[in-house]
Amino acid sequence: MSICVNTFSIVASDPQDNSYGVAVASKFLAVGSIVPWAKSEVGAIATQAHAKIGFGPDGLQMLEGGSSAAEVLTALISEDPGADSRQLAIVDAHGSVAAHTGKRCHEWAGHLTEDHFSCQGNILVGPETLEAMETSFVSTKGELSDRLIAALMAGDEAGGDSRGKQSAAILVVKPGGGYGGDTDRYLDLRVDDHQDPVNKLSRLVEMHHLFFGSTVASDLVTIDEQIASELQLMLKGQGYDVGDPVGVWSEASKQAFWAFVGKENLEERWNIEGDTDSIDMVVLEHLRHKFKSDAK
């Protein structure tokens, strides 16, 4: 099956934490349901232009069987009568990259490959989209998802899809990366229909880090009298009974805050069985922003 998906994307791997991912944007509804494919310890694939969806699962199966990115690309393209209108990029478990832009892909179309990543697109304003993506991906610090979204934003700002904007998506996998640790799906976010999908997607990545990220020890601060008072006022504003004088961070306050944390889906960053006399500044700033009127 093939679908016309004119877009720009980046596939990449990060050997630091053995992660693989794809970020993509397009003037096409729900591009994330078609282009990105990835499997932990195997690789990542982007299939686009007149996208052949089967390239995703078939390519991952070949990679898992031991074929290199170049071998998989050759096999898929050589057996496809529509190869001239396809665009395909692959990164394998060793960080090797292979990409294909068919000669019948709509202008401007092309790809740019380096070790561990490939940028590609069609119906773009020009090659500057891919050049901006490359520069941003290489220069951005942080985990793979942050680098992928930075590259996508740079491509968007450089012109992106010449027809306009509609959807964007990011997929990142790594061993035990899924919620609860029993799958590889670390991050799978999509904006299916929006006037500014890449910026919306960037915000979703930030929210993912907030709700599912791990607390960094340097971000922990002691819940002193001032912070205790602030949190208790928030709790009272939301109808919780702290049961104690304001400013005293006692067991009743902790239990009320734990119930509040569960309601706000922040249990990954504050746990009643952990250090309940400290709080992650990332969480505190989020709560201050969301419940600022209740903390006064």
Span 134-182, pLDDT tens digits: 999 999 999 999 999 999 999 999 987 777 899 999 999 999 999 888 9
At 78, is the secondary structure helix, strand, or coil?
helix
Overall size of the chain counted in residues: 296
Backbone φ, ψ for residue 221 (5° rounding) = -130, 150
- Phi-psi group of 43: left, alpha or beta (phi > 0 → left; psi -120 to 50 → alpha; rest → beta): left
The mean pLDDT of 204-210, rounded to a whole number, is 95
Q: Can you name the residues that pair with 222 across neighbouring β-strands?
A: 278
Task: Give mean pLDDT, residues 98-117.
Answer: 96
* Single pTM value for the model: 0.90
HSE (side-chain half, CA atoms, 13 Å) at 288: 11
Assess whether pLDDT exceeds 70 at residue 2.
no
Percent pLDDT > 90 in the chain is 85
CB-CB contact of 285 with 228 (8 Å): no
3-state SS class at 18:
coil
263 pLDDT tier (thresholds 50, 70, 90): very high
* Both tokens assigned to 29: 């509804």
